[in-house]
Structure 1
């Protein structure tokens, strides 16, 4: 029996465009013309406008009018803001999760994630690694059990993923992320929250520095 999709047309076009932007198949700075998108996806203007409004709220498009939108671009200041804020949100989530009373369950989920991530490193699948890396952090947010914190992180996640993907494209950086996540879990188990926060900050700073250097190289 064929599986019925219960997603609305707006949900579907939003998810398609969001993924295309995050993976930079639609690159930063691209103008998104409503007429062209309507023809490409065979949809009316109403669901497209609703989807575009959600992308605008996600910070993935920065210009939104009756004719179209523009995919977000980043300055050096933008990169610093996105990384620094997302890092702080992660550190808060770690503290909340550690105090949740469900740390043993969280450890199991994180261990399972690392097993799958290790397999992914062997196959070299960038897309799957990216998903599992995000899931590692999502697990911590789920145990933090703070809706407002999760909402703030979700609002920033699209922009952060565009930038962090630049870092994760390189195999040696994916290995560094895996090693960092493994050490985070080890220190969580050892009740070393200070050490965990230090690891998180170091990881974010390494990725941010890489992205900033790449931006400078592209501008030179």
Structure 2
């Protein structure tokens, strides 16, 4: 183990990791839409890489569940139906409740500091009433919430679910709460952690997820 403060080499991402990030972002932001087929030749040319790293990156996304392989046809971006949407949020509920419990057992002060910074990003996006920025800031807040638990396994599980959440919201942006309401939902979560109120925190997380499910279901029925 190195001495505290000693400089060490900064880890660099491999080409496969960089390509995985690019594909994941394209799916998350809708550049690659649900049901789109991924053509190796076209993607390799667009990314300026050989097919080897691209294939490996695509297989990573298959393992994450963001791409699906269809025999004799190729790879496709997943399509989320109503059942999938509910399942995504229920899985997030389980992960974020577990993260909340760990936060309460560990360093609440650090969690509050990190979440307060993340909340400021959401406040700024809400002030601009920019739905894309709000989605980014919302996702960043929940990433910090899980990260603050100190569990790398919860972080890994949450990462793919947050991409799938964004896919849901891209298709159904009208379901997003009003900016002030969204900020207040997240501010209450930070306050509950700061006050040491575990039951209140877990209830707020559950309400946040179940309300999201209901909004998405309602929008699908009226679309």
After TM superposition, the score normalised by the length of structure 2 is 0.83
Deviations 1:100-145 (A, max 9, x none): 1x11122122222222321221123334333322222222222211
Deviation at 1:156, TM superposition (A): 2.6
Deviations 1:22-73 (A, max 9, x none): 1112210111121222233332210110110111122111126686310001
Deviation at 1:212, TM superposition (A): 2.2
Q: RMSD of the alignment, in Å?
A: 2.5
Q: Is the 8 A contact 2:139 2:162 kept in 1?
A: no
d(CA) in 1 for partners of 2:174, 2:22: 21
**What SS does structure 1 have at the residue aligned with 2:93?**
helix
- Which of the numbers 184, 206, 210 marks the counterpart of 1:205? 210
d(CA) in 1 for partners of 2:159, 2:20: 15
Deviations 1:158-214 (A, max 9, x none): 222322455666664443221101111222222222122121111112221222233
- Which of the numbers 128, 132, 138 marks the counterpart of 1:133? 138
Deviates more, 1:133-142 or 1:76-85: 133-142
d(CA) in 2 for partners of 1:39, 1:67: 20
d(CA) in 1 for partners of 2:188, 2:213: 20
The structure-2 alpha-carbon separation of the partners of 1:186 and 1:137, relative to structure 1 and needing over 3 Å to count, comes to same
Alignment match, 1:58:
64
Q: Is the 8 A contact 2:143 2:158 kept in 1?
A: no
**What SS does structure 2 have at the residue aligned with 1:144?**
coil
d(CA) in 2 for partners of 1:80, 1:142: 23
Where do 5+ consecutive residues of structure 2 fail to align? 1-11
Aligned runs of 1:40-189 on 2, under 5 Å? 40-63=46-69, 68-100=74-106, 102-166=107-171, 172-189=177-194
Alignment match, 1:214:
219
Alignment match, 1:14:
20
Where do 5+ consecutive residues of structure 1 fail to align? 1-5
d(CA) in 2 for partners of 1:82, 1:205: 11
Alignment match, 2:5:
none
**What SS does structure 1 have at the residue aligned with 2:69?**
strand
The structure-2 alpha-carbon separation of the partners of 1:176 and 1:64, relative to structure 1 and needing over 3 Å to count, comes to farther
